[in-house]
């Protein structure tokens, strides 16, 4: 919510604050009706209307330039018309080594840190009781002595002395307690560092066991499209949930299972969103983490048993269905190598991929071969499913519904310097 508010303020700061013009009223109302858009008040609707008008203009200008041969793809208005690119959900993508090691260590450190804090606090509470008892007795003795020495002193003078003395003893108490905390923290710090180093060693060892695809040396087909081979389920819509990683992983598992069993069944991205603790549900994740979850859990549910709702909920711990989909691990495609990406796709089937989808034009992609010079192969933020290729483009399945792109698919430029990072972070599950 904070992100959306900040985004809206940023957009508003760049727009004129005059009322929107009436010339597009009919189109605006038709668009709102088509996508069932509702806003909390008139101010939000006016802001969203301005964003929609800007996006509409950008689409028209781009398509006019495409007609003139300046672009290889066209744009089209869709349900994202009232949004800016920073509002789009993203995945947790990064360098493979850091992605698999650092989060695991960070989580262990957080748990360990909390355990150590709890242990220190329990020790301090016990000592605090002892210190309080001693200091209170000292305080009472001092008060008695003061009164005995000056039994004629006024009551307010006694009270003043008590207050001063109590403050002095409280300062002593704080000093004693803080010294204990520092000593215990120093002692526990040594223990925690040893445990963290052990965990790093174990995590690195686990990382090094991950399989990496090696060239088979086989000749490639001129084109591949696994939609025709019954290895790809229909396009679905992740909605406002940042669960692209779960749809990507589910799609790769679906393809491998169909290839193995001859049955194409939809698996449950919601199961992954709810139960994969390595990822963050609707706040992002990664296909590799989903494969690891299925491997460790022993299975993933089918869509019909665990339907998608588009928000994270409590994990449903239910028995596996008959013939439940399983995973034995996963394989990485060497980073940045489009030829090996094509080989793996040709040999294995649909692959999970991550790309840079942050540019506004990707939001409104409609047709043609997507080649955008601003695309960054090193900044990956969206998980998708690679299902085929032709000579000059990759065929990629999205999870933004059939209204987006070419019935839910995008053609991304092939052999053009690993465009948008299509080969930067690809993998497939072993079933």
pLDDT digit string (tens) for 41-89? 999 999 999 999 999 999 999 999 999 999 999 999 999 999 988 787 6
Task: Name which of 249, 333, 244, 329 is nearest 292 in CA terms.
Answer: 329
Whether residues 140 and 194 fall in one domain: yes
Q: What is the pLDDT of residues 360-374, one digit of tens each?
A: 999 999 999 999 999
Whether residues 264 and 290 fall in one domain: yes
DSSP 303: T
DSSP 197: H
CA 262 to chain centre: 32
Q: Please say which residue of 59, 87, 115 terminates a domain.
A: 87
- Mean pLDDT, rounded, for 236-242: 95
DSSP 354-367: EE---SHHHHTEEE
Give the per-residue pLDDT at 367: 98
Give the per-residue pLDDT at 14: 44
The CA distance from 138 to 349, in Å, is 79
Whether residues 246 and 391 fall in one domain: yes
SS3 237: strand
Active-site residue, from 55, 71, 78, 244 = 244
**Percent of the chain clearing pLDDT 70 (strictly above):** 67
Alpha helices in 287-389 (DSSP H): 287-297, 338-348, 360-363
Whether residues 155 and 299 fall in one domain: no
Q: Hey, which residues does 224 pair with through a beta bridge?
A: 389
Q: What is the pLDDT of residues 12-40, one digit of tens each?
A: 444 443 445 568 999 999 999 999 999 99
Whether residues 202 and 230 fall in one domain: no
Domains contained in the chain, number: 3
The CA distance from 285 to 289, in Å, is 7
DSSP 419: G
Active-site residue, from 55, 78, 271, 398 = 398
Check which CATH number belongs to the domain holding 276 and give it.
3.90.70.10
CA angle 334/242/306 to nearest 5° reads: 100
pLDDT tier at 327, thresholds 50, 70, 90 = very high
The CA distance from 294 to 327, in Å, is 6
Average pLDDT for the chain: 82
Whether residues 44 and 30 fall in one domain: yes
Q: Please say which residue of 180, 208, 236 terminates a domain.
A: 208
Give the per-residue pLDDT at 427: 96
Establish whether 244 is a catalytic residue: yes
Whether residues 22 and 109 fall in one domain: no
* Range in 100-104, 223-227, 298-302, 424-428 the model is least confident about: 100-104
Max mean pLDDT among 118-122, 126-130, 143-147, 273-277 falls in 273-277
Contact 284, 91 (CB under 8 A): yes
30-52 exposure pattern, b = at least 16 Cβ within 10 A, e = fewer:
ebbeeeebeeeeeeebbbbbbbb
Q: Which domain holds residue 267?
A: 211-430
Q: What is the pLDDT of residues 187-218, one digit of tens each?
A: 555 555 556 556 655 655 566 567 889 998 88
Whether residues 223 and 112 fall in one domain: no
Contact 262, 401 (CB under 8 A): no
Check which CATH number belongs to the domain holding 11 and give it.
1.10.287.2250
pLDDT tier at 319, thresholds 50, 70, 90 = confident
Q: Give this prediction's pTM.
A: 0.74
CA angle 374/285/242 to nearest 5° reads: 70
Q: Please say which residue of 62, 87, 112 terminates a domain.
A: 87
Active-site residue, from 71, 286, 301, 382 = 382
- Is 335's pLDDT higher than 70? yes
Give the per-residue pLDDT at 192: 58
What six digits make up the tokens of 416? 């053009």
Task: Name which of 97, 167, 81 is nearest 400 in CA terms.
Answer: 81
CA 404 to chain centre: 22
- The values of phi and psi at residue 407, to 5°, are 55, 40
Whether residues 375 and 282 fall in one domain: yes
Whether residues 50 and 164 fall in one domain: no
Q: What is the pLDDT of residues 167-189, one digit of tens each?
A: 555 666 566 555 665 565 555 55
Comparison of pLDDT for 349 and 16, the residue scoring more: 349
Comparison of pLDDT for 97 and 386, the residue scoring more: 386
Whether residues 167 and 184 fall in one domain: yes
Q: What is the pLDDT of residues 354-409, one digit of tens each?
A: 999 999 999 999 999 999 999 999 889 999 999 999 999 999 999 999 999 999 99
* Range in 155-169, 277-291, 355-369 the model is least confident about: 155-169
CA 74 to chain centre: 29
316: CB partners within 8 A, 6+ apart: 271, 274, 275, 301, 306
Residue 128 neighbours by CB distance under 10 Å: 15
Contact 116, 188 (CB under 8 A): yes
Whether residues 335 and 394 fall in one domain: yes
Q: Is 145 exposed, middle or buried (0-12, 13-18, 19+ CB in 10 A)?
A: exposed
- Is 325's pLDDT higher than 90? no
Give the per-residue pLDDT at 2: 33
Task: Name which of 210, 208, 188 is nearest 200 in CA terms.
Answer: 208
* Range in 135-144, 186-195, 280-289 the model is least confident about: 186-195
């Amino acid at each position: 919510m904070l992100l959306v508010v900040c985004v809206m303020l940023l957009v508003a700061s760049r727009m004129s604050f005059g009322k929107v013009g009436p010339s597009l009223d009919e189109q605006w109302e038709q668009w709102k009706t088509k996508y069932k858009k509702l806003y909390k008040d008139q101010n939000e609707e006016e802001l969203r209307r301005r964003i929609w008008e800007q996006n509409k203009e950008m689409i028209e200008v781009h398509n006019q330039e495409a007609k003139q041969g300046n672009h290889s793809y066209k744009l089209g208005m869709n349900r994202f018309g009232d949004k800016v690119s920073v509002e789009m959900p993203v995945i947790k993508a990064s360098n493979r080594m850091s992605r698999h090691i650092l989060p695991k260590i960070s989580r262990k450190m957080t748990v360990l840190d909390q355990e150590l804090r709890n242990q220190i606090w329990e020790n301090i509470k016990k000592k605090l009781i002892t210190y309080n008892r001693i200091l209170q007795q000292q305080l009472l003795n001092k008060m008695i002595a003061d009164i005995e020495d000056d039994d004629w002193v006024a009551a307010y003078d006694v009270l003043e002395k008590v207050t001063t003395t109590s403050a002095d003893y409280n300062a002593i108490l704080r000093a004693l307690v803080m010294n204990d905390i520092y000593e215990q923290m120093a002692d526990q710090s040594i223990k925690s560092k040893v445990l963290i180093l052990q965990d790093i060693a174990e995590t690195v060892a686990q990382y090094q066991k991950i399989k990496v695809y090696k060239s088979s040396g086989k000749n490639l087909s001129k084109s591949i499209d696994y939609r025709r081979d019954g290895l790809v389920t229909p396009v679905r819509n992740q909605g406002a949930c940042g669960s692209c990683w779960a749809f990507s992983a589910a799609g790769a598992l679906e393809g491998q299972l169909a290839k193995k069993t001859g049955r194409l069944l939809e698996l449950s991205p919601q199961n992954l969103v709810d139960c994969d603790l390595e990822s963050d549900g609707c706040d992002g994740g990664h296909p590799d983490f989903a494969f690891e979850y299925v491997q460790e859990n022993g299975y993933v549910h089918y869509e019909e048993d665990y339907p998608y709702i588009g928000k994270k909920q409590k994990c449903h711990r239910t028995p596996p269905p008959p013939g439940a989909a399983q995973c034995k691990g996963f394989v990485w495609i060497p980073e940045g190598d489009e030829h090996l990406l094509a080989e793996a796709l040709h040999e294995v089937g649909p692959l999970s991929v991550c790309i840079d989808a942050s540019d506004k034009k990707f939001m409104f992609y409609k047709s043609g071969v997507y080649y955008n010079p601003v695309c960054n192969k090193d900044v990956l933020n969206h998980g998708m499913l690679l299902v085929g290729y032709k000579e000059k483009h990759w065929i990629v399945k999205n999870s933004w519904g059939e209204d987006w792109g070419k019935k839910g698919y995008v053609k991304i430029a092939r052999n053009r310097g690993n465009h948008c990072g299509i080969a930067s972070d690809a993998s497939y599950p072993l079933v």
